[in-house]
Every structure is written in structure tokens, then in C-alpha cells.
Chain A
Amino acid sequence: MSTEDLIETFRAQLRDDPDVASAVAAIRALLGFLRQDRGETIQGLRNSLRDAIDTLSRVDSSVAVSSGGELFLRFISLTSLEYSDYSKCKEIMIERGEIFLTKVSLSRNKIAKLCHPFIRDGARILTHAYSRVVLRVLEAAVESKKRFSVFVTESQPDEAGQKMAKALRKLNIPVTVILDAAVGYIMEKVDLVLVGAEGVVESGGIINKIGTNQIAVCAKAQNKPFYVVAESFKFVRLFPLNQQDVPDRFKYKADTLKTGQNLTEEHPWIDYTSPSLITLLFTDLGVLTPSAVSDELIKLYL
């Protein structure tokens, strides 16, 4: 499978199913890549998979694509491969890849099941930008006959908040779109903050659409719970100390990076929210405190 084919498969996945997370699409593409790989050794296969992940993360700069790819690679090779026959090994790896994919596809529902009890009847929720997991959680809350209202930030520059508001209205949830600058104003009316994440880093902090950090700071200042919903394939081995420490490849769109222009002029698309501002993380591994994220990562990688 050539690089172009890989990218094409990835894009096709995203086109065909707009509801799919980019990471899931990447994993599907990688699984296809694995099936068609004509290497002779496991080491060779690993290397070509690494290259494929690299290629994909250059197409989509989201943290989840690289973290999902890494975890996929880790998961399929985290088993005894002591067979003399290479094709047998590959078979096992493909099998495990499929298990991983089904697990990943199911994770959103699992999170919804875990998280919706935290939404009380009559709650006022603040959310940020567009997140499919948040949407799924709110949907689950509606299904369990809870009445609540949602404030969505407009989330410039791509106005993802409008998209979110539209999706919420479809679920018959009362929704108000607010300015990004109005977060501080609205915070006192809000019962809880619920955001998705592009990536969850080792410290237990999150990387998410720009503006998340200010919401977290506001929530902390007014003692409102700040909940994050994120699938475990978004866990990434990265430990930013502050905003400057987040690598550029995540901060800017892949297209912007390709042009090679001066990045100081460019606006970053994501920011880093430190773990001290986060109350809980809802993942398919369970409800975690920020410090437990690193524990899960250590268990996976050591």
C-alpha cells in the first residue's frame, strides 16, 4: 500500500462517515495498511507502520491521530509473537488490530454510560466547541429523561460552536451560543463544565481546541466542576509543562505547517489545560482523576 493509497483511504473514511473520529479513521486506514503490507519481518512491519502513522499525522495534525496510531501499534504488538512463521504473527496482529478497532468504536458509548449520571436534572452545562463525545454524553442524558440546558461557546475561528448548537437543537436540548469572551460572565450561572479533548497528556492535562484553558481557569476560580470526556485512544505520551512546551505539530494545522511560514504570526488551534484545573476525566477505562492518566499510560508502555 503506497503512501497515497493510505492517505486516500483515510480521507475516504472521513468523508463516508462524518461522525467518525479522525483517530478511528486513521486506525482503520492503518489496519488496511497492515493487511496489505508485504514485508517479511516483524521489525520491518513495525517500521512501515510507524512511517504510516507519521504520514497520517502529517495529513491531520490532531493529537488523537498520532496517539491513536501509537496505541494501535502498541496494542497489536503487545502480545507474544514467538512463532517462527511470519504469516501467523501477522494474522495475530491483524486479529488484535480488529479487537482494538471494535474497542475503540465502542468507547464513546461506554463513556456516555459513565458520564451521564453526573448530569443532574435541571443542570446548566457549559461546553466548548464541537465534540462528538460530549454530544453522545448529552444524548445519553436526554435518553435518560433528564432536562437540562447547555451553553456553547462560539469557538472562533471556525465557529465549531454553531455546529454543536445545531446538533444539540436536533436533540431538543435548550442551547445558547455565547461569545468566547463571555465565558467569565456566564460561569456563575453554570453548574458544570463538560468538554471533549483532542489529546490527553501524561500529566493528566488535556490538549483541546483553543479557549479550553481559559474556561478551565474560570471554572477553577468559581469552583465549578470541570469534566473532560475523552476516549482512551487519545492518551498520548507527551508531557507539556506549559503552552510553549506543546509541540508545534499539534498547535497548528497541518496545511499551515507545510507552508513553512513564520509561526509567530499564526494563531494556534489548541491549548494545554493543566491537570490541576481538571476535576475528572471520563474515559472508556473508567472515571479517572488526572493523576490516574499517567498510571494507565505507564501500565501500557512499561
Chain B
Amino acid sequence: MEKCMARPSAPPLPASRRRHLGPALPAMARPAAPPAPGPPRSAPPGAVALHPPRFAPLRPPRGRPALPGPPRPERCRGRARQRAPGVARDRRGGAAGGTGNGRRGTGPAGGAAGGTRERPAGTGPAGRGRGRDPGTAGPHRGDVTAPRGGAARPRSRGAAGPAGGAAGGARAAWRSGRVSAGPAPVHGDRLRDTGTGPGTRPGRAHAPIILGGNPEGAAPVPAGPQAPELSREEKLQLRKEKKQQKKKKRSEKGPSTESAELCAPPEAGQPRAAAQPTSPPASADGPGDSEKPAGGKSKAELRAERRAKQEAERAQKQARKAELSQAATTAKPRQSPTEPQSLVKRLPEHVQVDDPAAQRKLAKKLERQQVPLRQDYGTKVNLFSHLHQYSRKKPLTQQMSIPSTVIHPAVVRLGLQYSQGIINGSNARCIALLEVFKQLIRDYTTPPNEELSRDLVAKLKPHISFLNQCRPLSASMGNAIKFLKKEISCLPDTLREDEAKEKLQDVIDKYLREKIVLAAEAISRSAFEKINDHDVILVYGCSSLVNRTLCDAHAKKGHAFRVIVVDSRPRLEGRETLRRLVRRGIHCTYVMINAISYVLPEVSKVLLGAHALLANGSVMSRVGTSQIALVSKAYNVPVLVCCETYKFCERVQTDSFVSNELDDPDDLIVLRKGQAQLGGWAENKSLRLLNLVYDVTPPDLVDLVITDLGMIPCTSVPVVLRVKNVDQ
């Protein structure tokens, strides 16, 4: 994810700016636009031919749905058994996390369908969920519910009990449906989202289609080495086609019988049901469409134009690529399509919130992973419209329940702790993450017919997206995840499952010990050399590393250095620092950040922590750090940054705008004289609050970075990264 913005070659433009580049090429857009509506109309014959493989690229991981009958139930049972204890724990975890209420409250609705991601209203969907249950996965239901009930009973026998039981059944059913029938449930969800599905029994309606589609979808696979390329091209074409259909739909408004005809003549008996599978993308952005059906006419047109242009470009590129690959050796038919893809650096979703396409993609991904999407909160300052802004009062789990079959309860708890700010700070977050992942690995059992190294990585993905929804991942977490994924996928096949799990636990422990604990010790030692008698050291905020360094230096030398703790609103983390230092008997002064120019003349060193060190030497840290470094430079006070090498990041950032985090703007509200200042900010249209979390300090304001490898200037970050990459 970080690589997406790596190196100056791909300067991370904010999405808004990127989009402004769009209209700069109207000349291309115009000619491309007219033919756009064309293809679908002339498509039918071609579309029919293309239709079946459409499903093939949609579910590459489930590429073997052509599994013979017997293994299927087995697999389902395996999963159900594996999940069952997890579900039971889920409730416990939820209660421990202090959100038990929220979870239980939404329990019935959410539980009604690990699949219905809809307003908790209708009993319809719930009923449907249950109804589907016996049909598709009846036999396994007992498996699931029995141990659950047993475990759940002593805890809380409220409304959650039975509802959860039903939910579990539904989930299992859903699960099995998913395993055997590919994307069916996803489609089902979408159908329900659009609310157009009168009488659509998603699971059933799709099952025949998909199962029927399977053999055809699987057909290209045995075709040999050229198959992937073919399917990719087709996929592209299909995507194009889909978009055009969507466009047409939008212009016509309402369900088009034409499209139904167009894509599914074989299932003419159920024109509606058949039409649906083609519509998922359309319905995926359904909410957006339904929200502003009439108002966004011109916008829609604009969008269509943009899309047409993109398509034209893509088609051009494709043509060029095809030419190239043909001109080049035919010996490597596989490589040519993949190469250009690796060159394209994609921006991570969390910095293109203002790009509807990216958001749709994200929503789609989350839906696939069954992770709820968190809604943005309040209006944002224009410059930061590309970032997420969440409300602490609306945690992810309150809106809907999270299927514990997908998300481990410990991860749910962790996510809540992140989003509530209970676990805060780069190191703490990373340590908590790894501890939870250890638990996750402990509780993991490889389903039959799966490989641990592959399946576990896939299992981690929804967890990571969930945590990312709770709060954007820190650089430290990103690096730890990257490391863990690599370790998992490098596990030798020969290991037994318990051995592999053991090994992973050890590896995580080692990472925690070496990269965090021992690194902190090394840094503390190096920093000790730089702390002299009668120094006055200025620190800002609360960095575990800086605190440790100061405490160690105090304990080791016991001599007189003084600390000035600078703090800032709204987090007031400096108080924690103050508490820790004063407890050790270190002489401290506490000032707010407004007063630093007053205290700096007496300061001899500034010691700062860091969230991440970027490849151009910039230091990303708590907002305010940059200001302190700037004023320190003006007063000619050396600025030292303490940072472990595991927080080094390959990203390049020159300002704090491109990638940052917005905290809950409500934090800025002050209670004064019993009155909440700024309380009604949301109602005021001309008022926006900005609660930034990080800022970026340019490298020339930092004199020295103390890392576990020793002391380096911050311009040497890329060298350390390079050396590290060679090592790994």
C-alpha cells in the first residue's frame, strides 16, 4: 500500500487535483464519447458469447468451484466448526470491549444475514436469511448452532442468544453458499441494496445461473498458458461493456428489459433474475444514484464523459499493449500484460475519498470481504476532502454487526480500541496488532483442501480492511503486516499446521522483541550519549520511545537534566508524558505549544518521537512537531528525532496534505463555563473544523535521527531502507 506512492516518480497528487487533469483533454473525450453508447446496442450477439466467462475473473480465488460434490459439505463443516467457538467468543469480546450493547442491539438485524448489509428494518431480509438457511445448508446448521448455544448460554441469554443462533445458521448457510456458488451472495447483497428485488431469492435465483456458468467459466482454464491473457482482455472488455450498460441504465432510469435480453437469452424464463448478475456494478453505486437521481444529471453526464474518455484511453493502451506483446516475443505471452500493471502505482483508497470511483471500488472490496464500510462524518475542510473523517461516537460496530465468521472477535475489539483512541501511538498500535494476530493465528485452523500459507494470508485480508476502517493503519502497522504476510507466504509446505502456527507465533514474537523492544533499548543507549549534564531537553506530546529514553538516561546517570514538556490541544498527550517523567523524579516544566518561543532560548536539545520516517527524510509525526522543529531551527537548537527502523517507510511526502489522518472534529469542541463552544458546528454551513493528526517535518529542520542502527542524518533513510531490503 505504501508502495503506491513510492518515490518521486509518482508524486501523490490529491485526488481532487488529479481529477482536474481530466477536462484538460476534452479533445480526446469528445470523439470517444459518441461510440460509447454504441456497443451495447450492437452487442447482443457478442455479449452472449462473452457472458459466461464474466464470472470467471470475478472469482479467481474460488477458481475451483468445479469441485465435485463430496468435498463441498466437508469444507463447509470444517469452516462451521472452526468458526463456531469464534462466534461464541465474539459476544464475550464485544462485551469486554465495552460495546456489548451496541452489538447486541444490532444483533438481530445484522445477524439476520451475514449478508444483508442493509437498514436493520425489514423482517423480510431476516426472514429470507433464515429461509435460505435450510435450503442450502440445512445439514450443517446443527453443527454450527450446537456448540455456540452451549457456550453462549452462561454468558448472556438475552435477545442476542436466539437471534445470534439464527444468525449463525444463516451465516453458515451463507458461507456455504459462498464457498460453493462463488459470488452469489455478493450479488444477493447488492440486489437487496438497490431494493429492486421484489421476489428475488438471491441465493436460489443465482445458484443455477452460476453453477451453469461454472463449466463455461472454467472452460478457458484448461486452454493452456494463453488462457489468463485471454481472460484478462476479456475482463477488460467486459468491464467496459458493463460500464456502458450502467450508463445506459442511468440515462433510461429504471430496469431495462433490453439489458436483460441482451445478456441472458438462455435464462429467458427468469429475465429479471438473469438481468441481475450483470448489474452488480450498477447496483454497487446504487446508493449514490438513488440519492440524487434527478439533480445530478449534468454531473452524470460529466461522469459519463470522463468514463468514456478513460475507456478510450484504456482501449488505446490495450491496443498498444497488444501490438507490443505481439511484436515482442511470443514466447512470453504471460509477462507482457502484467508488466505495465506493475509500473502503474495506485494511490491507496484512503487518500482518495473524494474520488467516487475509488470509493465504489473500496465499497465493493469491503462487501466482498464482508467488512462494513464506515461512513464519513461531517463536512471537511476543502483541502482535506480526499481523506476520511470519522466520528468517534459512531464506531463501526454500532451500525451493523460484523460476521464473526470473517472477523475475529479480538480484531473487532482491537478495531474499537483503535477507533476510540484507547490504543494510541505508533508502537502501541503495532504491538497490539501483532498480539491480536498471534491470537488469530492460534485460533486458526486450515480448512481442508487449503494451504495454510495461502489461506491464512487471504483470511488476514478482511481483518486488515476492518482495522483500516476503524482507523487508517499506521506506517508501523503497515510494515508489520507486510512482514507477517511475507513470513506466512514463505512458510515451507512441509510443516505441519501446528508447527507452522508455532513458527509464526515465534516469528511475531521475534519481530516484537527485535524491532520494537530491543530497538528501543538501542535507541535509548545512543540517545544517552547525547544527553549531557545540565541539558534542558524539550519534548512534545507523548512518545513512548522518548519517554523511555529520558527515564533510562535519568536512571543511568542520575544527573541533572531538565525536561520541558510541550503539549497541545485537543489531545493533551503531554500530560501523560509529564505523569510518567515526574513519577521517575525528573525535573519537568509543562507548557502549551503556544509558549515554545518563550521557552526555547533555555533549551539545549529538542527530542522528538516519530510516527514514520519517509524516504525523502521527512519526519511524519504528531501534528505540531513540524512547528516545534521550525522554531527550534530558528533558535538554533538541535532537533533530534528518535525512531525505530521498522517505522521507516518507502513513501515520499513533501507536505502534510497528500496523506494524513483526520480525527473526529468533535474533539475540538470545548466545554467552557458549562457551555460547549463550537457545539453546533455541524449546523453552520460556513464553519468547518479540522482536526489533523499528523504533520510532516522537512528534513532540513531535523539535525539527527537516532535509530536502532545508530545515529544518522534523516537524509539517509533511503539507504537504510535499501540495506534493510537486501537483508530481508
Contact = CB atoms under 8 A, between A and B. Distances in A.
B704 A291 contact: no
A204 interface: yes
A241 B704 contact: yes
B700 A298 contact: no
Contacts of A302: 709, 720, 723
Given A241-B605, A245-B530, A299-B723, A294 B712 contact: yes
B316 interface: no
B711 to A, nearest CB: 4
B193 interface: no
B638 A241 contact: yes
Interface of B: 530, 532, 605, 638, 640, 700, 703-704, 709-713, 715-716, 719-720, 723
A86 interface: no
A241 B530 contact: yes
Contacts of B638: 241-242
Contacts of A202: 710-713
Interface centre among B703, B704, B713, by most chain A C-beta atoms within 10 angstroms, is: B713
A298 B727 CA distance: 13
A298 B716 CA distance: 8
Contacts of B711: 202, 239
A294 B704 contact: no
10 contacts: A203-B703, A239-B712, A241-B530, A241-B703, A244-B532, A275-B713, A291-B716, A294-B716, A295-B716, A299-B723
A279 to B, nearest CB: 15
A237 interface: yes
5 nearest A-B residue pairs (beta carbon) = A291-B715, A241-B638, A239-B711, A295-B719, A294-B716
Interface of A: 202-204, 237, 239, 241-242, 244-245, 275-276, 291, 294-295, 298-299, 301-302
A298 B709 contact: yes
Q: Chain A: interface secondary structure?
A: helix
A241 B639 CA distance: 9
B719 A239 contact: no
B608 to A, nearest CB: 14
Contact of B719 (A203, A237, A242, A299): A299
B605 A298 contact: no
A112 to B, nearest CB: 28
Given A275-B713, A291-B715, 13 more contacts: A202-B712, A203-B703, A204-B713, A237-B710, A239-B712, A241-B530, A241-B605, A241-B638, A242-B638, A245-B530, A276-B700, A291-B713, A298-B720
Contacts of A245: 530
Contacts of B723: 298-299, 302
Nearest to B715: A291
B728 to A, nearest CB: 13
Nearest to B720: A298
B700 A239 contact: no
Given A241-B605, A242-B638, A294 B719 contact: yes
Contacts of B720: 298, 302
A202 B711 CA distance: 8
Contacts of A294: 712-713, 715-716, 719
Contacts of A275: 713
A298 B714 CA distance: 12
B77 to A, nearest CB: 52
Interface centre among B640, B715, B723, by most chain A C-beta atoms within 10 angstroms, is: B715
Q: Chain B: interface secondary structure?
A: mixed
Nearest to A289: B715
Given A241-B704, A302-B723, A203 B713 contact: yes
Contacts of B703: 203, 241
B713 A298 contact: no
A237 B719 CA distance: 16
B67 to A, nearest CB: 50
Contacts of B700: 276
A299 B711 CA distance: 14
Interface centre among B532, B640, B704, by most chain A C-beta atoms within 10 angstroms, is: B704
Contacts of B605: 241
Nearest to B724: A302
A9 to B, nearest CB: 32
Nearest to A276: B700
Contacts of A237: 710
A26 to B, nearest CB: 24
A239 B703 CA distance: 10
Nearest to B718: A295
A202 B640 CA distance: 14
A213 to B, nearest CB: 14
Nearest to B703: A241
B411 to A, nearest CB: 35
A206 to B, nearest CB: 14
B641 to A, nearest CB: 12
A77 B682 CA distance: 66
Nearest to A293: B713
Nearest to A238: B711
Nearest to B726: A302
A239 B704 contact: yes
Contacts of B712: 202, 239, 294, 298
A294 B715 CA distance: 9
B719 A298 contact: yes
Contacts of A291: 713, 715-716
A222 to B, nearest CB: 20
B412 to A, nearest CB: 40
Interface centre among B532, B640, B711, by most chain A C-beta atoms within 10 angstroms, is: B711
Nearest to A204: B713
Contacts of A298: 709, 712, 716, 719-720, 723
Nearest to B711: A239
A237 B709 CA distance: 12
A291 B605 CA distance: 22
Nearest to B639: A241
A242 B638 CA distance: 8
A207 B716 CA distance: 20
A275 B704 CA distance: 12
A295 B716 CA distance: 6
B627 to A, nearest CB: 21
Contacts of B640: 241
A283 to B, nearest CB: 16
Contacts of A204: 713
A241 B605 CA distance: 9
Contacts of A276: 700
Contacts of B710: 202, 237, 301
A237 B712 CA distance: 10
A297 B716 CA distance: 10
Contacts of A295: 716, 719
Contacts of B709: 298, 302
Nearest to A244: B532
Contacts of B716: 291, 294-295, 298
Interface centre among A204, A239, A299, by most chain B C-beta atoms within 10 angstroms, is: A239
A254 B453 CA distance: 61
A78 to B, nearest CB: 14
Nearest to A274: B703
A73 to B, nearest CB: 17
A301 B709 CA distance: 9
A189 B605 CA distance: 38
A276 B715 CA distance: 12
Contacts of A239: 704, 711-712
Contacts of A241: 530, 605, 638, 640, 703-704
A294 B704 CA distance: 11
A299 B724 CA distance: 11
Nearest to A239: B711
A276 to B, nearest CB: 7
A162 to B, nearest CB: 35
Nearest to B723: A302
B144 to A, nearest CB: 53
B618 to A, nearest CB: 14
A237 B703 CA distance: 16
Contacts of B715: 291, 294
